[in-house]
Structure 1
Amino acid sequence: MAMTMTQKILAAHAHLDEVKAGQLILADLDGVLGNDITTPVAIAEFEKAGFDSVFDPEKINVVLDHFVPNKDIKAAKQSATCRSFCKENKISHFYDVGKMGIEHALLPEQGRVTAGDCLIGADSHTCTYGALGAFSTGVGSTDMAAGMATGKAWFKVPSAIQVKLTGQLNDFVSGKDVILSLIGQIGVDGALYKSLEFTGDGVKALSMDDRLCICNMAIEAGAKNGIFPVDEQTLAFLKAHGANEPKIYQADEDAVYEQVIEMDLSQIVPVVSWPHLPENTHPAKESQEIEIDQVVIGSCTNGRMEDMDATYRILKGNHVKDGVRCIIIPATMDIYKQCIANGYLMAFIEAGAVVSTPTCGPCLGGYMGILAPNERCISTTNRNFVGRMGDKTSEVYLASPYTAAYSALTGHISDPREFE
């Protein structure tokens, strides 16, 4: 039976010759991930079920990233719970203050995921790692608890949508514009419990940071996972970051897809998702009447090095418009250090921005950039639901780092192609 790339990975981890869409399987896990919000809940379920040890301390990843450094007593207690559990279970891949980062940027950087892996995480954006040719998906804290104890998880095998990419992106256009355009086309439920499988000659024109961004937001179309084929770029990335030996799976030529979508990357323009859903996508050029109060550049979607490069390109030698607050958050400590080495932090500060250590903070309305009533923010994060970043009357507009940074200079949503 012909299978998609995702189905082949799941079949291998279920020790089956083949699987089909809709089939319920029990699969071995190569990794389990939790953060400071979801891990304490998983620990409570772990203990409630009577488990007294994890299946493999080397395959558990706990990243403190949402409220670290801790913002209040509740956050401090959550982090303390994680620290205690990881110490007791000798979990070596525990990332705390000083070596933490935003989880979905940190794990690829630290070589914690490789091609062919099957990984779950108690965070919806765990689908990010499909960029590395892995099957990864978000689960609830109860599933995380079971995964930590048994090294296994139940899955319903997803059907798939094939996204055929051609051409290459133009200047000032990035992977964020690609995924926002796709979500705008198919809607927030357009890939519900399906695998978004990206193929075609256009794949090679996308950087690894672009691919990580695109897979990160697969969940915003309702997808179970997003995944890219493994190519020379992927293998070079995995080697550079010390990942385990990759195992490459390829979709069969006659694999069945529920839908085939063709996207010419050369036709993608800078876009912005207006409130209050990621599918509410409009060209940035048609959004220029919208004034903003705040800009956030960072998150597990767009806090990587190429995102910092794009931000520097726009802000260097310029200044954020009076009345606009610009918050920049490198996604990991390594990226933060690289920004220092490159002179980016000085340029950002001289431009009137503030720079934070790695945190998810403002993305989920936690801290480091909460919006007051009726305020507007253009953000490189992944969700713009009602009240997502603060008061329920505030508005969040999703965009690429290029668009967000240029908008910080003008004070209104702006098309970055007009920058030069």
Structure 2
Amino acid sequence: MGMTMTQKILAAHAGLDSVSAGQLIEADLDLVLGNDITSPVAIHEIDKMKVEGVFNKDKIALVMDHFAPNKDIKSAEHCKCVREFACKNEITNYFDVGKMGIEHALLPEQGLTVAGDVIIGADSHTCTYGALGAFSTGVGSTDMAAGMATGKAWFKVPSAIKFNIVGKPAEWISGKDVILHIIGMIGVDGALYKSMEFVGEGLKYLSMDDRFTIANMAIEAGGKNGIFPVDDLTREYMKEHSKRPFTEYEADSDAEYDEEYTIDLSTLKSTVSFPHLPDNTRTIDEVGDVKIDQVVIGSCTNGRMDDLRIAAKILEGKKFADGIRVIVIPATQKIYLQAMEEGLLKTFIEAGAIVSTPTCGPCLGGYMGVLAEGERCVSTTNRNFVGRMGHVDSEVYLASPAVAAASAITGKISGPKDVM
């Protein structure tokens, strides 16, 4: 029996010739990730283990992104805890204010993740790096602690779902529309503990930023991970960003899949996820008249250059509707600077937005855009659970940067064709 992409990567890192779905393995890790919320718990667990140091100071990444710059005393204490741990253990890849970014945009940009890696992170959207052909998945802080101490983690090998991507998308259709369509189709538990493997000739129409978005939201379908095969676009990205060697894996022709779906990009429409689950999706022509209060463009899902360029193209020379608050968050300092150099930030500010330092802030209802009772927000983030971005009686509508920008102009959920 053949293996999937994910199974091949796990077998190689476990020192085995082959693995099968459901098998328990112990695998070597290429990177262990934590942030300012999850790392303090892991650090306390390491202290209880009484281990000396970490397994490899170059294979740990600690990113201050959720509440940095600190929003209150508690978040300052968390960051101080991580900062002191990073200093004590000489952690090479420690990212704080000034060289920060949202972790799942920052690490690929810094060349820390490449094809063939096994990566764990104490953040559920660690699955993002599957866009590069890596196996990456979220874990709890105790598993992060064990990973930092030993360089190993245990896994139950997942079965897989194959998504055959075909066709060419229409204008304004992006990776966000693709993954929202898929989640709406299979449900938030449709890929529970399974690998979501994206293949097909239609991948050539998806940019790296599109692929990062799709892999990022695999967890919203319950997926253990999302993964793409390596192609010329992937190789070009890794060559530009990383000096690390990488290994390409392709699924065997006789690999087994629990389900197979064909996604025709040419048939997709702009898609919006209504409250309070990501699978509660409607196409833009099914939305109706939904007035909004706030728009957020950013996050580890949609704060990259493609996202900002699309939003700016729609907003050029336009103003937001009266009473609409718009927060734009470039995902990293490098993206912030590039957006500045391209004039995108000027476009956002002239339209009436504020531009934030890179932060996860509003996505998790932390700061920089918390919602009050009864308020509605169109957001390019990845979750719209009850109370996710603020008050339990607020509402979050997940959408692409194109839909978010158009909605900011009209004051209600709208597609780009409504304003262009």
* Common fold: TM-score over 0.5: yes
Whole-angstrom distance in 1 between the partners of 2:151 and 2:358 = 29
Q: CA deviation at 1:285?
A: 2.1
Q: Hey, what does 1:114 align to over in structure 2?
A: 114
Q: Hey, what does 1:177 align to over in structure 2?
A: 177
Alignment of structure 1 residues 6-405 onto 2, 5 Å: 6-405=6-405
Whole-angstrom distance in 2 between the partners of 1:8 and 1:307 = 32
For structure 1, which segment, 20-29 or 242-251, has the greater mean C-alpha deviation from structure 2 after superposition?
242-251
Q: CA RMSD for the aligned pairs?
A: 0.6
Q: Give the letter aligned to residue 214 of structure 2.
A: I
Whole-angstrom distance in 2 between the partners of 1:189 and 1:417 = 32
TM-score where L is the length of structure 2: 0.99
Query: Matched residues, percent identical?
Result: 65
Whole-angstrom distance in 2 between the partners of 1:72 and 1:111 = 32
Whole-angstrom distance in 1 between the partners of 2:339 and 2:182 = 31
Whole-angstrom distance in 1 between the partners of 2:243 and 2:307 = 23
The 8 Å contact of residues 175 and 206 in structure 1, kept in 2 or not, is answered as yes
Q: CA deviation at 1:50?
A: 1.3
Q: Give the letter aligned to residue 231 of structure 1.
A: D
Whole-angstrom distance in 2 between the partners of 1:415 and 1:344 = 20
Whole-angstrom distance in 2 between the partners of 1:67 and 1:382 = 18
The 8 Å contact of residues 409 and 419 in structure 2, kept in 1 or not, is answered as no
SS in structure 1 at match of 2:282:
strand
Q: CA deviation at 1:116?
A: 0.3
Q: CA deviation at 1:266?
A: 0.7
Which 4+ residue blocks in structure 1 deviate beyond 3 angstroms? none
SS in structure 1 at match of 2:327:
strand
Q: CA deviation at 1:315?
A: 1.1
Whole-angstrom distance in 2 between the partners of 1:235 and 1:177 = 25
The 8 Å contact of residues 33 and 144 in structure 1, kept in 2 or not, is answered as yes
SS in structure 2 at match of 1:378:
strand
The 8 Å contact of residues 173 and 268 in structure 2, kept in 1 or not, is answered as yes
The 8 Å contact of residues 113 and 243 in structure 1, kept in 2 or not, is answered as no
Q: Give the letter aligned to residue 324 of structure 1.
A: I
For structure 1, which segment, 212-221 or 162-171, has the greater mean C-alpha deviation from structure 2 after superposition?
162-171
The 8 Å contact of residues 288 and 412 in structure 1, kept in 2 or not, is answered as no
Q: CA deviation at 1:180?
A: 0.2
Q: Give the letter aligned to residue 161 of structure 2.
A: I
Whole-angstrom distance in 2 between the partners of 1:168 and 1:143 = 41
Whole-angstrom distance in 2 between the partners of 1:232 and 1:348 = 33
Q: Give the letter aligned to residue 218 of structure 2.
A: A
Deviations 1:192-221 (A, max 9, x none): 000000011111111000000000000000
Deviations 1:219-241 (A, max 9, x none): 00000000000000000000000
Whole-angstrom distance in 1 between the partners of 2:417 and 2:268 = 12
Q: CA deviation at 1:417?
A: 2.6
SS in structure 2 at match of 1:282:
strand
Q: How many residues align?
A: 420
SS in structure 1 at match of 2:86:
helix
Q: CA deviation at 1:418?
A: 2.9
The 8 Å contact of residues 171 and 417 in structure 1, kept in 2 or not, is answered as no
Q: Give the letter aligned to residue 89 of structure 2.
A: N
Q: CA deviation at 1:243?
A: 4.2
Q: CA deviation at 1:310?
A: 0.7
Q: CA deviation at 1:46?
A: 0.7
Whole-angstrom distance in 2 between the partners of 1:245 and 1:321 = 49
